[in-house]
Amino acid sequence: MEPFSLSEGQFEIVYNSFSFAIAAMGASLLFFLLKRTELPVPYRGAVTLSALVVGIALYHYLRIFESWESAFTLVDGRYVMDGTFNEGYRYVDWLLTVPLLLAELVLVLRLSKGRTRSLITRLTIAAVLMIATGYPGEIADPDSFTRTFWGVVSTVPFVYILWVLFAELQSVIRTQPEESRPWFDGLRWLLLATWGVYPLAYLAPQVIDDAATAEVIRQVGYSVADVLAKPVFGLMILAIAFMKARRAGALEAQPDDVAALTDDDPRVGSIAG
């Protein structure tokens, strides 16, 4: 990455987007760990992966945040890049979390062991290839053939993943409980929408002449997409897990309208006791 300078506003936008991502990852990690204990054991796998995903992302965003701060020095009202911003943290994060995100979706479907193993294996290989081939282009010169070449190569496994999600899994989703089908559709479209941000951010340095503006758009775009693809995706996985566990009768019956009870309602004492 060639050195450049940012205005105070540009620097703060990226700084705050990293801070937002850290808060989102940390809060969702705690929430997933607490809520998974309310699920029966057979339904915890996907939620456990959700917690693992945001935990990994939390660690890497802390490193990204630290690297961003150390890469710039404030000089005469502008942040001058006089160090190295390590973009590798993002790719290590994606290399670990993208296969886990896909595994979450497969696990919450609760298919046969053989079908589950096959799907996770194929999707993991495709995800690793997508991330690994995208990194050489990420660190290449924005106007070079190398960046374009590796961008095209990484698109191939990306398209394969989309084919599995929207074609192969379509028949599987039809067999899921009726109330959960819209949620599975939502998961697939959320992945498509958020993953669609990544190639746009990847292309920003090639289509935007101003390096500072391109970098701000890239980092903020990556951060927002990560929050949607990890904590929000995990919340949807959690909702499906509770929905399916409840439908299977695996959750203990809860008192009706507990949240609406007043302190002087006689049922409160029995619930608390």
Q: In CATH, what number is assigned to the domain containing residue 96? A: 1.20.1070.10
pLDDT of residue 22: 98
The DSSP 8-state label assigned to residue 39 in this structure reads S
Whether 258 is covered by a domain: the verdict is: no
For CA atoms 174, 179, 185, 188, give the dihedral sign.
negative
Sheet holding 5-7, edge to edge: 5-7, 78-81, 72-75
Classify residue 257: in a domain, yes or no. Answer: no
Domain-embedded: residue 273:
no
Domain that holds residue 220: 5-251
- Reduce the DSSP state of residue 78 to 3 states and report it: strand
Which of 60-69, 190-199, 230-239 has the lowest average pLDDT?
190-199
Instruction: Give me the number of domains the chain comprises.
Output: 1
Mean pLDDT over all residues of the chain? 86
pLDDT(191) > 50 = yes
Q: Is residue 265 part of a domain?
A: no
Q: How confident is the model at residue 247 (pLDDT cuts 50, 70, 90)?
A: confident
pLDDT band at 266 (very low <50, low <70, confident <90, very high): very low
In a domain, 270, yes or no: no
| The predicted structure's pLDDT at residue 1 | 56
Residue 185 within a domain:
yes
Pure H helices in the chain = 8-36, 45-71, 88-109, 113-138, 145-163, 170-174, 181-207, 211-227, 233-247, 266-272
Tell me whether residue 268 is in a domain.
Answer: no
**Whole-number Å distance between alpha carbons of 100 and 88:** 19
- How high is the pLDDT of residue 99? 95
Torsion on CA atoms 199, 203, 204, 208, rounded to nearest 10: -150
Residue 189, domain member (yes or no): yes
CA nearest to 13, candidates 102, 99, 79: 79
pLDDT-derived band at 163 (thresholds 50, 70, 90) equals: very high
Q: Are 124 and 103 in contact (CB under 8 A)?
A: yes
Residue 256: per-residue pLDDT: 41
User: Mutual orientation of helices 181-207 and 113-138 as an angle, nearest 10°?
Assistant: 10
